[in-house]
Amino acid sequence: MNRREFAKTALWGAGGIALLDSPVSRAALAEFPGDPLQASRRGQAAALSVRVGKTVEITKSFCRCWFPTVHRFSNGDLMATMRMSPDEINPEGDFSAYCISKDQGTTWSRRYTMGAGANVDGAWSQNPRPDGSIWQLYGWTDARLTGDAQDLCLTLTQFSQSGMEIRQRRNVPLHMSEPVQMLQAELSDRRVQDGGLARVPSAMPWGPIIPSRHGGLIAPIYFKVERDPRYYRVALLRSDDNGKTWHEGSTIAAAERGIKLWPGMGHEGPGETGMARLADDRLFTIFRTGSDGFMGAAWSSDDGHNWTSSVQLPYKGVSPHVRHLSNGVLACSTGRPGPVVLMFSTDGTGETWSHITPIFTDRSTCYTDFVEFEPGKLFVVYDSTPYNWNAIPLTDHSSRNVIYGTFVDIEMN
């Protein structure tokens, strides 16, 4: 999905969200306008100390250099990724890169360039695989090898040796439960096709790859269906053969006709999804509904086969990334409107959030990610984009798009 794309107001239900009559949602909407900073007093009594530390520059460029993610290898080395190309529906022109830190984020290597495999669009291993590698399911799926919009192909990239060894498969089968909408491939500036790829499936893995209870793998995906392409929906992908094949499993949140509107929902429907396994083994998800919409959340007690009716959170945000930390706290990075922030669920359930902490307040896409590199020590990555969504003009010889990382210490008192 183009990150600036807006659809229309969505309807929620059919196992997804039906929140008009939710007392929690009504109270949240009445009390908070959506900016996380304005909601920061909620639940602040919990004994959590959050200290924002130094900020380091990871990389900078006259190119786009935005939408970062960060990942920790089993030996402690960190990998920060970034997109170097425009935000457009053009997998043939994707240009991405990554940098490596061998000192827990203090200093960073040069950029190593890639196409598919290092983009924020995709699903990433939340923790290293048993062999120490980090996996990514590329965000753009492919229908050309199968010829239909239901049996698709994924690109699976495996990073090992601290990013110095890469294996990639571009024909990993993905079976969807029904045909998905096909999007017109186009450049962001010219709005025309730029190569041999004319149409792209609107099925985009996004979020973490985590182990299932029974030895498989699960990951979120958001997409539009062919029969009703008005709104995005979120489902859970499953692989029962160690990533060789994938299929759509359960629906986490879906937009359907005939359901009462959620007053605070965004124009896109459920999309970019963060997911974590809680201490009680439940799955928790938090997802974007649009740049102007309140985020939603849902839980599963049976490893993602069934999901609760989703609830509305009193915060707006994009690109939510969530992790269950070593001290039992649930942490989430997000932003827009307002700054890049971290927020915390101190009881580790995701039901209430507090200690909303601003990390970066200047111009940014507010696409973020973070890792816990030591117990209680977080490293948050984000971008600085001085011209917002536009390219840096050729006449400006000093400005850069920059990827930053900020250290944050948290402690339960």
341 forms bridges with which residues in the sheet? 334, 358
Please report the pLDDT score of residue 38 as a whole number.
Answer: 53
Q: Do 289 and 27 touch, CB atoms closer than 8 A? A: no
Please report the pLDDT score of residue 230 as a whole number.
Answer: 86
The values of phi and psi at residue 138, to 5°, are: -60, 140
pLDDT, tens digit (0-9, with 9 covering 90-100), for 99-155: 999 999 999 999 999 998 999 889 999 999 999 999 999 999 999 877 889 999 999
Which pair of structure tokens corresponds to residue 58?
């990871």
- Distance (Å, rounded) from C-alpha 256 to C-alpha 236? 17
Q: Do 276 and 323 touch, CB atoms closer than 8 A? A: yes
Q: Do 363 and 370 touch, CB atoms closer than 8 A? A: no
Q: Do 318 and 291 touch, CB atoms closer than 8 A? A: yes
Which pair of structure tokens corresponds to residue 109?
């290597």
Among 219, 88, 242, 245, residue whose Cα is nearest residue 152: 245
- 138 CB-near residues (< 8 Å, 6+ apart): 116, 117, 119, 121, 122, 154, 155, 156, 157, 205
Please report the pLDDT score of residue 1 as a whole number.
Answer: 52
Please report the pLDDT score of residue 145 as a whole number.
Answer: 76
The count of other CB atoms within 10 Å of the CB of residue 407 is 18
- pTM beyond 0.85: the answer is yes
12-412 is classed CATH 2.40.160.20: no
Please report the pLDDT score of residue 413 as a whole number.
Answer: 84
Please report the pLDDT score of residue 24 as a whole number.
Answer: 31
Q: Checking DSSP bridges between strand 165-175 and strand 246-255, what pairing results, if any?
A: parallel
Please report the pLDDT score of residue 366 as a whole number.
Answer: 97
- Distance (Å, rounded) from C-alpha 70 to C-alpha 318? 17
- Distance (Å, rounded) from C-alpha 406 to C-alpha 52? 7
Residues of the chain with pLDDT under 70: 1-46, 258-261
Peptide bond into 337 cis (omega under 30): yes
